[in-house]
């Protein structure tokens, strides 16, 4: 699922809960009113925060759960449909295992959860196979 879809669902749930629960709406309003934007913070406070991040030990930064590998800017199904399996394989060739895992999650290419333990080459093959399945499924939708 894409980040935009996930955020849309989250905001829809927040709006529903705020309509249903006035206490929640009041707490949410209070939190949002108390929020201080980075644009409103003094420059020296931002510099101090940036220095603290820079001085953190490297192993802490590397193991931080906030550091997430972004999915490549690639639509595997669209690329497969336009240029074929060889072009998709070439596009995936320079991606590491983490990037392929992120790509699979972003495009929901592992609905059954079978790709979790695959190595890098098997993940690339999985992406190609799933893209092929989606293209074939989409063609059947328009076969009257």
- Look at the alpha carbons of 97, 112, 110, 106 in this order and tell me if their dihedral is positive or negative: negative
- Confidence band (pLDDT; 50, 70, 90) for 59? very low
Q: Of 76, 70, 104, 128, which is closest to residue 1 (Cα–Cα)?
A: 104
Query: HSE-up of 9 (CA within 13 Å, CB side)?
Result: 6
pLDDT in tens, 87-127: 999 999 988 888 888 888 888 888 888 888 888 899 999 99
Q: Does pLDDT of 48 surpass 80?
A: no
Contact 107, 77 (CB under 8 A): yes
pLDDT in tens, 23-46: 888 888 887 777 666 555 566 655
- Confidence band (pLDDT; 50, 70, 90) for 58? very low
Q: Which sequence spans correspond to the domains of the chain?
A: 3-63, 76-141
């Amino acid at each position: 699922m894409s980040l935009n879809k996930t955020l849309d669902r989250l905001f829809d749930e927040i709006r529903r809960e705020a309509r249903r629960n006035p206490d929640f709406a009041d707490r949410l309003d209070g939190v949002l009113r108390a929020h201080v934007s980075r644009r409103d913070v003094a420059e020296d406070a931002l510099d101090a925060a940036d220095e603290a991040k820079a001085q953190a030990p490297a192993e802490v930064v590397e193991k931080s759960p906030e550091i997430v590998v972004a999915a490549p800017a690639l639509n595997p199904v669209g690329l497969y449909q336009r240029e074929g399996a060889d072009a998709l394989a070439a596009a995936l060739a320079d991606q590491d295992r983490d990037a392929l895992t992120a790509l699979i999650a972003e495009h929901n290419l592992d609905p059954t959860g079978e790709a979790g333990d695959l190595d890098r080459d098997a993940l690339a093959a999985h992406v190609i196979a799933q893209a092929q399945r989606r293209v074939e499924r989409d063609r059947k939708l328009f076969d009257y």
